Amino acid sequence: MKTQVRSNWSSTVLVCAKCSKRLGGGFGPKGKQPLGKALRQHLGLKKGRKSAAGVVDVKCLGVCPRGAVTVVDAAASREWLLVPAGTDLDAVARALDLLPAADG
């Protein structure tokens, strides 16, 4: 029996699916996608464990902010992000260490 499975993820991000659903989208080029899907698409991530990073939609994180989505970077799980609808996806990716920091 296998007790471990390997993934190619360099980082893992948890996105509250309930917050995303309450917003009815709010992200992506047309502002109609949930945050998790828009972030995966923006970063060009594949699905599953063969992707470079994991963006996982979870049921509910229990914070429920108005007009925002709760996001947890698993590497820095003590600090949770509240991402307002319409936030630039590059800024979200940088805050989650999914993109290198901008020079300057």
Considering the domain boundaries, does residue 66 fall inside one? yes
Considering the domain boundaries, does residue 5 fall inside one? no
CATH of the domain at 31: 3.40.30
Return the half-sphere exposure (C-beta side, CA atoms, 13 A cut-off) of residue 82: 7
Return the half-sphere exposure (C-beta side, CA atoms, 13 A cut-off) of residue 93: 21
Considering the domain boundaries, does residue 32 fall inside one? yes
Considering the domain boundaries, does residue 101 fall inside one? no
Extract the tokens encoding 43. 């970063």
Considering the domain boundaries, does residue 67 fall inside one? yes
Per-residue model confidence as pLDDT tens for the chain (104 residues): 889 999 889 999 999 999 999 998 899 888 899 999 999 999 999 888 889 999 999 999 999 999 999 999 999 999 999 999 999 999 999 999 987 655 44
Considering the domain boundaries, does residue 80 fall inside one? yes
Considering the domain boundaries, does residue 52 fall inside one? yes
20-50 pLDDT, tens digit each: 999 988 998 888 999 999 999 999 998 888 8
Cα separation, 73 vs 78, whole angstroms: 9
Total of domains in the chain: 1
Considering the domain boundaries, does residue 104 fall inside one? no
Range(s) of the domain holding residue 37: 12-95
Helix (H, G, I), strand (E, B) or coil at 54: strand
